[in-house]
Structure 1
């Protein structure tokens, strides 16, 4: 049985010592939170470590399920902490493993302090409980960090997609969609969704799509661009296409796209001039 109130008390009384010894032995030459020289960042790091010890030593007085559940808030805090997000994951894992060694040493100290001998089997049970607890918490922190980073990346990608398909308002229910750079399938999908939604929201009835800044698209992307034009027609938006490069036109022809009902001009100035007549 891993439970032992005396061992819990022994470790809890040394939580501050554990934090100080850990920080003093910390390799501060790397990057991220462990290398910070900011007094507030150092104070926060020590406080997080101290709170970790307060939680961890409860493995010897709590049921396992309740123990890990109580750790959830700490795991989320560390996994989403800006300083830890900017710290390489392998460094975070390294520090968990160093703390694990600290605890195994303190268990030996506890055994030495006892007046009555303890079986090696019981000592192994205590040590296994610590190893398992730290490994689970370490894994959960890394997973939370990766989940939060992935969410941030998705949000940044969405922002990039929004900025890469700007719908510019023009007078009298008109708007301009200037497309620049290479367009891959993901960006083409974002352009399709954002433009249809934007035209509906802004009540656009005539959209100028300028492709003069687009140099390369694949067949799927070309198809999506012309799907956009079809979608705009279905919601009552007239489309004028300008700056259609020969390569894109050739791809469209190979796809069998009919240009018959699409207004096309050589450049944006001609398109807007036509739209104002």
Structure 2
């Protein structure tokens, strides 16, 4: 690691200055995401993160390589998984890396002008190369970490969606309700099959009210999946009652040649609940 105490001290003296300079122009360069937030807490934290980066980066001229790399990795990890940054387009974040690098070059230009002939051209060029090399490495590392955390967040959101795709709602110790809403494709129908069986088993459900009043369309594959669900539930001791089948939904199932003959059907959820086939305890 190339160390230069005088250069390090000079750069550190200007950390607050370049943070303010950076933030005053950031809304022009990145007019959305975290950079456009009017929230004072978000702004203060953004400035802190920016200022912290300067202090960690300038240590490249004052610390051992391992210490410097670990410090930078800590900063990258914090920013990459920060919710505000995850909600900001990646290209805008990378643009701010570039603008910060340009700030460092201007600051280095000032220092070189002030020290005049105290250093060789070779030494000065080396300073610029250090900044350039590390910014390229940091940008790549940040993209990797940002992508990783973004993927984890998407997977978590998909898991929530999957859970909501088949929300088995307990009405009593033995009775539960599964309200289906929206369009059901083959992918979602398979999720419903797996999740419903699992939840009914865990909740020890004996009777399930399967309400279709919120379902708009249904195709042959989905209808067959629903029949598979009803049969699978029967195998684990769950009796299913269908309710809320709209006229257009009923017509499409008949046209497809699918008849729900193995299940009790009620016109509405209210009538299904009032059914004497089970009692609430």
2:26 aligns to what SS in structure 1? coil
Q: What TM-score comes out, normalization by structure 2 length? A: 0.79
Maintained 8 Å contact 1:184/1:221: yes
Calculate the TM-score normalised by the size of structure 1.
0.80
Change (3 A) 1:58 1:198: same
2: CA distance, partners of 1:154 / 1:97: 30
Q: Conserved in 2, the CA contact under 8 Å of 1:222 and 1:252?
A: no
Q: CA deviation at 1:53?
A: 0.5
Residues in 2 aligned to 1:184 and 1:154: alpha-carbon distance in whole angstroms:
20
Q: Is contact 1:212-1:245 (8 Å) kept? A: no
Per-residue CA shift, 1:163-194, capped at 9, x if unaligned? 34232334572222221220123422332232
Aligned to 1:26, the other structure's residue is in SS state helix
CA contact 1:111–1:118 (8 Å) conserved in 2:
no
Please report how far the alpha carbon of residue 229 of structure 1 lies from its aligned counterpart in structure 2 after TM superposition.
Answer: 2.3
Partner residue in 1 for 2:139: 138
Shift of 1:205: 1.3
Q: Conserved in 2, the CA contact under 8 Å of 1:217 and 1:248?
A: yes
Q: CA deviation at 1:220?
A: 4.1
Could you list the per-position Cα deviations for residues 140-172 of structure 1 after superposition, in whole angstroms to 9, with x for gaps in the alignment? Answer: 334444443443343334334433423233457
1:38-187 pair list within 5 angstroms: 38-112=39-113, 113-120=115-122, 122-171=123-172, 173-187=174-188
CA distance in 2 between partners of 1:222 and 1:62 (Å): 66
Correspondence 1:275 to 2:280: no
Match in the other structure for 1:12: 12
Aligned residue number for residue 245 of structure 1? 250
Unaligned ranges ≥5, structure 2: none
Residue 3 of structure 2 contacts residue 62 of structure 2 at CA under 8 Å; is this kept in 1? Answer: yes
Q: In the superposition, relative to structure 1, how do residues 24 and 181 fare at CA in structure 2: closer, same or farther (>3 Å)?
A: closer
Between 1:262-271 and 1:122-131, the stretch displaced more is: 262-271
Alpha-carbon RMSD: 3.1
Residue 249 (structure 1) shift: 5.0
Q: Is the 8 A contact 1:240 1:264 kept in 2?
A: yes
Offset at 1:24? 3.2
Q: Is the 8 A contact 1:3 1:61 kept in 2?
A: yes
1:204 aligned counterpart, secondary structure: coil
Classify 1:75/1:104 alpha carbon distance in 2 versus 1 (closer, same or farther; 3 Å): same
The secondary structure found in structure 2 opposite 1:275 is: coil
Q: 1:178–1:22: structure 2 CA closer, same or farther, 3 Å change rule?
A: closer
Residues matched between the structures, number: 271
Taking the aligned partners of 2:130 and 2:183, their CA distance within structure 1 comes to: 54
